[in-house]
Amino acid sequence: MFYIKILLAIFIFVFQQSIFSQTVLPKKNDFVIIPPKESQSFMFTNMAGMYYYGETGSRNTSPFHGLSFLTTKIVEDYLIEAGGQVLKRSDAEVHLYKNKLIRHHNSIELIEETTISDSIPVLIIKLSSKQQIPISVFPLIAKSGGSQNYSKTWSPPENTLYISRRKQLVENNTQNNGKWIGISTFPAGNFSNEIIEEINYQNRSTKTKIFLPGKINFYLEGSGYIFFFIADSKKDILNYRKQILKDLNLKINKKEIPIEGIRKA
C-alpha cells in the first residue's frame, strides 16, 4: 500500500559551499552573518510537518524552494514592499540562526524576521522599522491543489504575516499511524560515478515519486541527493538503511551514509 498521504517530506539540504560546511552549526541563540551581495541556502522545519526552504540573498527559484506542508507546497516565495519599493534581498545583511532568519535592510532601517512555529504549521514573517513608512508582505501562492487549505493573516499593529494550515492536525488513520521516516543527505560530488548513474537511472525510470516501506526513496536537488527510508520503528529504519545501501554499494569516501534525522510522521 502506498503511503503518499503520510509522507513527512522534510528535506535536509546539504549546502554545497555552505557556511555550515566550514563552521560549527550555531547554537540556538548563535548566528552566522551573511553580508550583502552573498547568498546561502537554508531550511527550517518543525515537528508539525512544515518546512521552509530558500535562499538568504536571492529569490527562491528551485522546485523545492518555498513553504510546504508534507507533500503540498503552499507558498513559492514572498515579497516585501516598503515605502512603495520592493526590497531586494541581495542588499540585506542576513543573520542566519538554526531556527530563524533575520534580514537587515539597513537603507530603510527595516528588520525582517522569518521563522516557523515548532508546535503548529505556521510561518511567521515579522517586520519592524524605525521609519514611519507603509509596509506590506505579498506571498506568492503555489499552484497546487492543496494551497486552498491554508490561510494568510496580516496583523497591521505587529507588521506580521502568518501563513498557517487551516487544519492544524495531521490526519491519523491506519495509513500513517506509527510510521517512521529516516532521512540521509549528501552532495553528489562525494558519490562514486557508478552510484550517480544508478540514482539517475532510477529517477528517470520512475514516473511518479512513490515512497514505499523498505525501499530507497530519493530526491535530487541541484548537486545534492536526499534519501528517505520508511518503516514501523527506528530499529527497522536502521536495518533497512544498512541493507539497502549495502545492496546498492552506496559509499561516500569509504564511509556509510549516516541517518541525519529520524522523525515520526
Look at residue 117 and tell me if it is in a domain. yes
Look at residue 24 and tell me if it is in a domain. no
List pLDDT tens digits, range 106-123.
989 999 999 987 766 788
Closest Cα partner for 229 from 239, 215, 242, 248? Answer: 215
Domain-ending residue, one of 140, 165, 190? 165
How far is residue 253's CA from residue 43's CA, in Å, rounded to a whole number?
Answer: 26
Residues 84 and 153 in one domain: yes
Q: What is the mean pLDDT of residues 42-57?
A: 85
β-strand partners of 79: 138
pLDDT band with cut points at 50, 70 and 90 for residue 182: low
Domain-ending residue, one of 112, 132, 165? 165
Residues 75 and 111 in one domain: yes
pLDDT band with cut points at 50, 70 and 90 for residue 78: very high
Look at residue 212 and tell me if it is in a domain. yes
Number of domains in the chain: 2
Residues 119 and 191 in one domain: no
Residues 116 and 223 in one domain: no
Where in the sequence is the domain holding 101, given as residue range(s)?
Answer: 31-165
Residues 48 and 128 in one domain: yes
Q: What is the mean pLDDT of residues 53-73?
A: 84
Residues 62 and 184 in one domain: no
Look at residue 25 and tell me if it is in a domain. no
* The pLDDT value given to residue 100: 92
Closest Cα partner for 105 from 57, 149, 148? Answer: 57
Residues 37 and 126 in one domain: yes
List pLDDT tens digits, range 25-38.
445 568 899 999 99
Q: Which residues contact 130 (CB under 8 A, 6 or more apart)?
A: 109
Pick 126 or 1 by higher pLDDT: 126
For the ranges 88-97, 125-134, 154-163, the lowest mean pLDDT is seen at 154-163
In percent, the amount of the chain with pLDDT more than 90 equals: 16
Helix or strand run (H / E) with residue 5: none
pLDDT of residue 150 exceeding 60, the answer is yes
Single pTM value for the model = 0.55
pLDDT of residue 143 exceeding 50, the answer is yes
pLDDT of residue 246 exceeding 80, the answer is no
The SS3 call for residue 205 is helix
Q: Are 150 and 163 in contact (CB under 8 A)?
A: yes
| C-alpha cell of residue 182 | 529516516
